[in-house]
Amino acid sequence: MTEIDIREAARLAQQRVMHSDVPIPRDRRRDVTRPPGPSQVRALRGFSAPGAAPGFMVEVERTYPAMAHLRLLGEHVYVLTDPQAIVDVFVTHGRQTMKGRALQGAKVVLGNGLLTSEGDVHLRNRRLVQPAFHRDRIAAYAIDMVSLTAAHEATWRDGETVDMQQDMAALTLAIVGRTLFGADLRGDAREVGKEMEAILSGVGARLLLGPTVLRIPTPARRRALEASARMDVMVQRIIDEHRAMGDNGDMLSMLLAAQEEGMGLDDAQVRDEAMTLVMAGHETTAMTLTWTWMLLSQHPERAAWLHEELDRELGGRPPSMADFANLPRTRAVIAEAIRLYPPAWLQGRRTLADLDVAGWLIPEGALVLASQFAMHRSTRWWETPLAFRPQRWIDGSGEFSEDAPGQPRGAWFPFGWGNRRCIGEQFAWTEATLVMATLAQRWQPELMPDADVQPMPAVTLRTRDGMPMTLRRR
Ligand code: HEM
């Protein structure tokens, strides 16, 4: 790509970032008392040392069991560690907040799509996209999910070593590609995967810097901008093809057909939504499945507990949506993996008003953080929190229940909250359950004995060096 193209890509990205629907307030107050918290040096180290941030959040949760205040990049940051305080900010006062720095920064790639837009634009986006996640649509996607998993399984070879992180990402990308763009994305899946990787590794860790990310001319920035520009071209081509084809029942057709007050979405808006759904929808589920495989490999007795259910309920046949209710152990295994390794491990907001929370005043313009990673591992709310015990999700009548462990609301929020709750939650549960139920019937991948698996917080909680596993037939 030439220098001119990069400049153009940077200009486009800058435009996306700067397009803000609400003014961004800053907390510069001097007249408020702030709760105690870690020093500025400790906070900077906690967030910037590679891989350190989830552990730092755990440390803050243990040391400050309600709320901590710290300074970071010139901002006042409140870390919430009390479940009720988390509910107060993210649910009760959800509409008096906007997304935090990382998602503001993510506009570089995602523009003004559902994940990153604010206020009325977000409300309109949500209404437009919602029908694509209706129960009936998910049931239709379930058929694609199972058939794509079966096709993927056909590429697995007994005894072969794979990077499970990449392997699962290829599968979930194919699934999101098929449901979002129709069958024609299969050929592009690998390419999209590569571009995503470049974008994530290029801007991922720097997202906390917000829009500043674009002004630091690093090789990673260049890679991310190039990849983003190539994705733009690809998404535009797919949009043009869809226009020519007419409605073929996938999400993109729905977006193109969407009308509001007689106005359809323009191509830039469709591009932002499509990009958002691919980004938000594939990596999260891929990581859920990857961590689940790792945990099952490390706990053969839990794997046997799962296999007993799959053999009994499915007896070797492919699962379907109708089996969902009869697979409580499969769902429990996934829930437990999400608890220990939540793909969305940290959530941030900026306050749009002064908020009264847990006896403290959080001023307008402050940043608020809540970490799924820390809250899901807290000894205050979970029995033996570091143990992989999927049984904790099975209630007295043998059903899967998200309430079964007895944790308070606010200590379990893998899909976020309120008006910004994950729109793909049911999609993700369906996908992860059906993929696991299909593959774990016949396969028991083993983590390589010398694998050094280090959680690495990027946009999602990934691993530093992949997840090397040997495929083993059961
Ligand atoms: C295990 C899988 C997943 C996890 C853990 C997850 C987690 C989350 C979380 C925590 C949020 C809220 C972010 C915030 O408030 O700042 C979110 C939002 C979102 N997710 Fe997911 N997600 C998953 C799968 C999916 C899938 C499969 C899709 C789409 C196909 C999707 C699309 C979205 C979108 C569009 C939003 C923005 C919603 C809005 O702001 O209105 N997610 N997700």
- The answer to whether the pTM exceeds 0.75 is yes
Cα–Cα distance for residue pair 34/387, rounded to 1 Å? 35
Q: What are the beta bridge partners of residue 348?
A: 369
Q: In angstroms, what is the span from residue 285 Cα to ligand 1's centroid?
A: 10
Residue 143 CB: number of other CB atoms within 10 A?
13
Ligand 1 nearest-atom number relative to CA 349: 16
Cα–Cα distance for residue pair 219/6, rounded to 1 Å? 12
Q: In angstroms, what is the span from residue 80 Cα to ligand 1's centroid?
A: 21
Please give the pLDDT value at position 177: 83
Please list, in sequence order, all residues whose beta carbon lies within 8 angstroms of the beta carbon of residue 217, skipping any fewer than 6 positions away.
Answer: none
Query: What are phi and psi for residue 266, nearest 5 degrees?
Result: -80, 170
Cα–Cα distance for residue pair 228/287, rounded to 1 Å? 22
Residues near ligand 1 (Cβ within 6 A): 99, 103, 114-115, 126, 176, 276-277, 280-281, 284-285, 288, 343-344, 347, 414-416, 420, 422-424, 427-428
Query: Residue 370, SS3?
Result: strand
Q: Where are the domains of the chain?
A: 3-470
Please give the pLDDT value at position 354: 97
Cα–Cα distance for residue pair 287/321, rounded to 1 Å? 22
* Closest CA to ligand 1's atom 20: 422
Q: Which of 422, 435, 459, 460 to mutate to test the pocket of ligand 1 (most atoms within 8 A of CB)?
A: 422
Ligand 1 nearest-atom number relative to CA 343: 5
Q: In angstroms, what is the span from residue 270 Cα to ligand 1's centroid?
A: 18
pLDDT more than 90, % of the chain: 56
Q: In angstroms, what is the span from residue 109 Cα to ligand 1's centroid?
A: 16
Q: Render pLDDT for 157-199 as a digit per residue (tens, 0 to 9).
A: 999 999 999 899 889 988 988 887 775 555 555 666 666 666 6
Assess whether pLDDT exceeds 60 at residue 15. Answer: yes
Q: Render pLDDT for 380-418 as a digit per residue (tens, 0 to 9).
A: 999 999 999 999 999 999 999 999 999 999 999 999 988
Cα–Cα distance for residue pair 158/162, rounded to 1 Å? 11
Assess whether pLDDT exceeds 90 at residue 323. Answer: yes
Please give the pLDDT value at position 319: 97
Least confident of 36-50, 266-280, 439-453: 266-280
Q: In angstroms, what is the span from residue 344 Cα to ligand 1's centroid?
A: 8
Q: In what order do the strands lie in the sheet with 347-351?
A: 67-72, 75-80, 367-370, 347-351, 97-99
Q: In angstroms, what is the span from residue 11 Cα to ligand 1's centroid?
A: 28
* Closest CA to ligand 1's atom 37: 115
The stretch 116-130 carries a mean pLDDT of: 86
416: left (phi over 0), alpha (psi -120 to 50) or beta: left
Q: In angstroms, what is the span from residue 57 Cα to ligand 1's centroid?
A: 21
Helix, strand, coil distribution of the chain in percent, nearest 5: 55, 10, 30
Architecture (CATH level 2) of domain 3-470: Orthogonal Bundle (1.10)
